[in-house]
A and B are shown apart, each in its own frame.
Chain A
Amino acid sequence: NAGVMQNPRHLVRRRGQEARLRCSPMKGHSHVYWYRQLPEEGLKFMVYLQKENIIDESGMPKERFSAEFPKEGPSILRIQQVVRGDSAAYFCASSPGGLAGAQETQYFGPGTRLLVL
């Protein structure tokens, strides 16, 4: 049973280019979350999506960043016109969704490490 998958694992971009990060949730999971980890810091929430729907994007920068989770295929985090400050590790997590009771556990992928030159 594959866990959360992210690709690419490492991504190098020059300033001004676009970065596309992909996340495939665990089988049967319908909720996806994106987090960013800057050097020497903890993870910061960016966005929470369900299929074809953005539930909470309160952590997303106002410009250049967007996310989607289409009906078919992986979730995509897109960063346009990257700058050096975007260099970070981006983690995706997924959870089953639709469960009553205890707080759902989020299962994390291995991350994509973005380096902007």
Chain B
Amino acid sequence: AQSVTQLDSHVSVSEGTPVLLRCNYSSSYSPSLFWYVQHPNKGLQLLLKYTSAATLVKGINGFEAEFKKSETSFHLTKPSAHMSDAAEYFCVVSPFYNQGGKLIFGQGTELSVKP
């Protein structure tokens, strides 16, 4: 069975410092992995996705994530946090590679950015 675990429910950083949001996945085969962001009372926006091409994936707004099969991890990083990055972030795995189908969400990590 596929699952995803976000290791921190809340992360707080200062503006201008690096961001690291941790995610581990469990999958019986090579998964598709995504990071989505949700701003308060808004829908979800796709930040980036991994589909077995390059292991380092670049997304929008300066975010990137690295797929590490040996560690079953897909951590999200950004070199310098901005106040507008404050939101809820979800790591997501798709159990149906190369097909449409349901997404499995982690519990979410709330990112706070202090001035």
Contacts and interface: CB of A to CB of B under 8 A. Distances in A.
A4 B45 CA distance: 11
Contacts of A103: 32, 49, 51, 94, 96-99
Interface in A23-57: 31, 33, 35, 41-45, 48, 55-56
A97 B100 contact: yes
Contacts of A35: 103, 105
Determine which residue in A41, A42, A93 has the highest number of CB atoms from chain B within 10 A of its CB, and name it: A42
A45 B92 CA distance: 12
Contact of B36 (A4, A102, A108, A113): A108
B102 A59 contact: yes
B108 A42 contact: yes
Interface of B: 32, 34, 36, 41-46, 49, 51, 53, 90, 94, 96-108
Top 4 nearest A-B pairs by Cβ distance? A103-B32, A45-B102, A42-B105, A102-B51
Interface of A: 4, 31, 33, 35, 41-45, 48, 55-56, 58-59, 91, 93, 95, 97, 100-111, 113
Given A102-B98, A103-B99, 12 more contacts: A31-B100, A43-B90, A45-B102, A45-B103, A48-B102, A91-B43, A93-B44, A100-B98, A103-B49, A103-B97, A105-B49, A111-B43
